[in-house]
Amino acid sequence: MRYQSYAGLVWQCARCGGRAVALSVLRKAVEERTVRTLWVAATQGGIRSSLRCPSCRKPMSQASVGGSLPVTVDVCELCQFVWADAGELEQMPAAPPPAKPPEPDLPPEAKEALAMAKVEALSKRAREYGIEEDLPDNPVHAALLLLGLPVEEENFLQRQPYMTWITAFTITVISILAFFQMERAMNTLALLPAQWWRYGGITLFTSFFVHGSIWHLLSNLYFLLVFGDNVEDRVGHGRFVLLLALATLVGNILHIAFDPRPDVPCVGASGGISGIIAFYALAFPYARLQVAYGWWWAWRWWVFSIPAWVMALLWLLLQLLGVMEQISGFGGVSTLAHLGGALMGFACWLLWRREQQEL
């Protein structure tokens, strides 16, 4: 059975009393440090459990938390789901309860009207399948959603994503310097399909570091930082760089092979980052992302929480439409490079996932 706690939705076994909760729900009920300890223990190659995840049916990992009463729970890295036997959640240090604002001293009629309004609002939200009608309180997240960018709901890391940061810094420096001498940068660093072999073919990679505009640069940096840290955390620093390089190379090869404009230079990191996005969606398909939809003129917005695989599927459909446009000789974005990068991200996920299974 399932029930709604103050922290969120909880599934409970009627036979053994064990409970399953999403990691985001556990964070509201258990102190943050304990939840992070559980996640790191589960993702550092811990002991495989005989219990299968109630969502994806794959084996979970055991994770222990020390203290006066040590607790061992089962964690699914894929679904970010936690299973605790009966009584184990109560043994974990509880998170501070959410602060409740003092209720004003209202007459009985006003209190009744306020309660009815709250019930109506909850019913309406339930009918809308959990869609939020308000932007998040965090002003940074709200601004990103208004710009049409996805926002990650949870982000647990067990190592510092140094190569993601270094890559983002290098892209920023080279791109900003190129803005001051754009013609020279295009002649030197950009990929020209008709002359891809120039300078020994190095422009297949140097084009990754140059961008055509500030918005082009900022949007690529955002997707690199949001998804790159999790991918680097999963595969390690060296393989993260290898994935970026291979996705960039395959994306550019696909662009050279099928774009009908061989004399138009191609720049940007989006081919490599597409490989990161594809790998992220395959490695963390149930990670939750927030996206917003609305009308600026009415200042009315709806915030949707969707799993990463849904976002990736929508993104892939857009790329396929863009490829048709690009092959026809239109458009200023190389969706061919995006598609090639995504294919390499898929290939690396297949290869490295099999290696982990063999270990």
What are the backbone dihedrals phi and psi of residue 171, each rounded to the nearest 5 degrees, phi first? Answer: -60, -45
119 located within any domain: no
CA distances (Å), origin 243, targets 233, 347, 352: 13, 10, 11
The answer to whether residues 193 and 50 belong to one domain is: no
CA distances (Å), origin 335, targets 94, 163, 165, 189, 215: 48, 25, 25, 20, 17
The answer to whether residues 180 and 74 belong to one domain is: no
pLDDT tens readout for residues 163-196: 999 999 999 999 999 999 999 999 999 999 999 9
214 located within any domain: yes
218 located within any domain: yes
3-state secondary structure of 202: coil
The answer to whether residues 168 and 51 belong to one domain is: no
In whole angstroms, what is the distance from residue 102 CA to residue 164 CA? Answer: 45
The answer to whether residues 194 and 301 belong to one domain is: yes
Its domain, for residue 337, covers: 139-358
The answer to whether residues 66 and 176 belong to one domain is: no
Model pLDDT, residue 130: 40
Kindly give the parts of the chain with pLDDT less than 70. 44-46, 55, 66-69, 97-135, 296-299, 355-359
Residue located via tokens 């020279």:
184
Model pLDDT, residue 74: 82
CB 18 within 8 A of CB 85: yes
Among 91, 119, 148, which residue terminates a domain?
Answer: 91
CATH code, domain with 348 = 1.20.1540.10
The answer to whether residues 208 and 69 belong to one domain is: no
The answer to whether residues 32 and 158 belong to one domain is: no
What's the pTM?
0.70
Tokens (6 digits) for 249? 């190379």
101 located within any domain: no
267 located within any domain: yes
The answer to whether residues 197 and 313 belong to one domain is: yes
Dihedral sign, Cα of residue 137, residue 286, residue 95, residue 38 = negative
Q: Among 45, 51, 38, 47, which Cα is nearest to 356's?
A: 45
The answer to whether residues 35 and 153 belong to one domain is: no
Among 34, 66, 91, which residue terminates a domain?
Answer: 91
- Burial level of 238, CB count in 10 A (0-12/13-18/19+)? exposed
**Domain count along the chain:** 2
CB 270 within 8 A of CB 171: no
